[in-house]
Every structure is written in C-alpha cells, then in structure tokens.
Chain A
Amino acid sequence: MKKLKKGTILFLKTLGCLLLLLGSLKASPAFAATDQAENQSIIEIYDKKSESNEQNPIKNAAGSLLKPSTAKHYPQTNDLKMMGISFLGMLFFLTALFLIFWKRSKEGENEV
C-alpha cells in the first residue's frame, strides 16, 4: 500500500512537471507565432579580373591571354578604289540623265 502510494505520488509529480514545461513552452513567443511569410535576398558578386578574361578568351601560343586590338580600322586602298569608281559611275549616270532631259526640253521649245 505504501509502495503504491509512493508510485502514485511520483507519477503525479512527473505529470505535473511535464504539464508545467508544456505550459511554459506554449506561453513562449515561439509557440505564439500567428502568421509567417518569406521574402528573398538577392545579390550577385563578380570578379572584374576573371570577367575580363572571360570576355577575351583569345590566347597566344604560350597560353597567356591576349588583349583585343585597340587599332582603329581605316579604309584600305582597294576600298578607296572601289569608292572612286562608284562615284564616277554615279556622276556619269546623272550627267547622262541631265543631258537627256535638257535635249527633250530644247526639242519641245523648238516645236513650239
């Protein structure tokens, strides 16, 4: 009988402790959270050096990176020749056109 009483008392004590612990946990803010939401943090980090290497991947025989040419591109001699020929052609064509119209207008004047 005494043993049973002791056991019951121990059981009640343990139960009481557990309830107290549970109650205090429920009262704490972590258990009182009512609504939750999420948002994103975004950041992009780059390395200027490695990025410039990626943009100019031309390598020489030794394997080192080559910088792109900074020289300006001027028209070559052949380009200039072609340009001159087309300009002259255009000039001839326009002169011929002018002469045709001039002749026609003159003929018209004579007829009148």
Chain B
Amino acid sequence: MKCKFLIAALISGVFLVSSPISFAEEGTTSLEILPLDEAHPRIYEVSDLNFGRHEVAESGTKISAQDDLVIKILDARKISQSWVLQVKLGKLQNEQKQTLNQVNLDVGKGRIQGDDIAGISTEAAHLTVEDDSYQTVLKSDNSVRGTYVYTIPKQAIQLTFGSDSSIGKYEGTNNWRIINAQF
C-alpha cells in the first residue's frame, strides 16, 4: 500500500515537474558589436517600392507607393565626415521586356531617425529614366555619426507613366549610393 502510494506520488511528481518544462521554448540571442572604425558609411537596407495594380487609363496621374520607403544607414567611422545619399531610377520592364514610357518618380522629403540627426538634411528628388543621373536625397555635414533610419511616407512617393504604355507587370532596379564627400 505504501509502495503504491509512493509510486503514485512519484509519477504525479514527475508530471508536475515536467509539465511546465514541456511548454518551454529555446531561443538564441545574437549581438553584433560593430567597431567604430569603419572606413566608409554603409547603406544597410533599402525597401522596395510597390505601386500596385493600375489601369492603363491612369497614365499621367500620380500614383502613390503602397508602403513607406525605409532606408537604413550606418556610419561607424572613428572620425566623422560629410556624406550624401543619392538615388538613380532604373528603367521599368515587363515580362516581354517592354519598357514603361515616360516614367517620372517624385521622392519627397521624409523623416530621419537616429543617434545624432542634427547635421542631416533631407531633400526632395525628381527622377526620370531618361535623365539617368543620381539625385541627392540625404545630406550630412561632418558632425554626425551612428545609425540612421530615413522613412519617406508613401504619400510622398509618386510615380507617373506615359499614355502609350503596354499592359504587364513592370519591374525596375533603382541604384542607391552613399558618397563620402560633400557637394
């Protein structure tokens, strides 16, 4: 009788102890310590620009992006220097390799968040495929350093296309560059 009681107590004890453990989960923690001696500032991330699905009759009208444009920059240099962030619009092509005509992209001013944003100024850019030149979006003086997140609201990013455009899903690659120099 005593033995049975003991076995029962042991089994119930095991269940009681093991039950909370069975719900536990394992996770990993990662931490990347970056040295403050990088040679150049870096573009960490640039989000894509999705303008959704539109009728061909909407040509000439301004189409806003569906999401905010987020750009992450890291300037981890020992001695800070001025830099500029620039963008160049790539041509948009569909599955049949047809190019979207008369594409204009207006990138308005956004908000900058980061460690030290006092020396950073934002600029609006007007981009065309025909122009094929880089336009400045962000400018810093030589007093800032750290991690920055530049968010341009979707309403401030507007695209127009020409009336003689063919139907299809168009995709284009835009080039971004951060220059370690003052303009």
List chain A positions with a Cβ less than 8 A from chain B.
Answer: 29, 32-48, 50
Q: Given the complex of chains A and B, what is the CA–CA distance between A29 and B168 in angstroms?
A: 37
Q: Is B178 an interface residue when CB atoms closer than 8 A count as contact? A: yes
Contact, CB under 8 Å: B51 / A42: yes
Chain B nearest CB, measured from A103 CB (Å): 54
A32-B179, A34-B180 are contacts. A41–B167 as well, Cβ < 8 Å? Answer: no
Q: Is B172 an interface residue when CB atoms closer than 8 A count as contact? A: yes
List chain B positions with a Cβ less than 8 A from chain A.
Answer: 39-43, 45-57, 63, 83-84, 89-90, 92, 100, 105, 159, 161, 165-181, 183
Chain B nearest CB, measured from A104 CB (Å): 49
Q: Given the complex of chains A and B, what is the CA–CA distance between A23 and B171 in angstroms?
A: 38
Q: Does more than half of chain A's interface fall in helix, strand or loop, or is it mixed?
A: strand
User: Considering only CB atoms, which chain A residue lies closest to B65 in the complex?
Assistant: A41
Q: Given the complex of chains A and B, what is the CA–CA distance between A39 and B57 in angstroms?
A: 27
Q: Which chain A residues lie closer than 8 Å to B90 at the CB level? A: 41
A33-B177, A36-B176, A39-B176 are contacts. A47–B43 as well, Cβ < 8 Å? Answer: no
Q: Given the complex of chains A and B, what is the CA–CA distance between A45 and B169 in angstroms?
A: 6
User: Considering only CB atoms, which chain A residue lies closest to B48 in the complex?
Assistant: A40
Contact, CB under 8 Å: B48 / A41: yes
Q: Does more than half of chain B's interface fall in helix, strand or loop, or is it mixed?
A: strand
Chain B nearest CB, measured from A101 CB (Å): 49
- Chosen A-B contacts, 7 in total, with CB atoms closer than 8 Å, are A36-B176, A41-B172, A44-B52, A45-B53, A45-B161, A45-B166, A47-B56
Q: Given the complex of chains A and B, what is the CA–CA distance between A34 and B82 in angstroms?
A: 12
Contact, CB under 8 Å: A46 / B167: yes
User: Considering only CB atoms, which chain A residue lies closest to B49 in the complex?
Assistant: A41
Contact, CB under 8 Å: A35 / B53: no
A34-B180, A35-B177, A37-B176 are contacts. A45–B46 as well, Cβ < 8 Å? Answer: no
Q: Which chain B residues lie closer than 8 Å to A38 at the CB level? A: 46, 173-176
Q: Which chain B residues lie closer than 8 Å to A43 at the CB level? A: 50-52, 54, 63, 92, 100, 159, 161, 169-170
Q: Given the complex of chains A and B, what is the CA–CA distance between A89 and B165 in angstroms?
A: 65
Contact, CB under 8 Å: B176 / A40: no
Q: Which of A40, A47, A50 contacts B171, CB < 8 Å?
A: A40
Contact, CB under 8 Å: A35 / B56: no
User: Considering only CB atoms, which chain A residue lies closest to B53 in the complex?
Assistant: A44
Chain B nearest CB, measured from A23 CB (Å): 15
Q: Which of A39, A47, A48 contacts B46, CB < 8 Å?
A: A39
Q: Which chain A residues lie closer than 8 Å to B56 at the CB level? A: 45-47
Chain A nearest CB, measured from B64 CB (Å): 11
User: Considering only CB atoms, which chain B residue lies closest to A51 in the complex?
Assistant: B167
Q: Which of A32, A40, A41, A48 contacts B55, CB < 8 Å?
A: A48
Q: Which of B47, B55, B169 contacts A39, CB < 8 Å?
A: B47
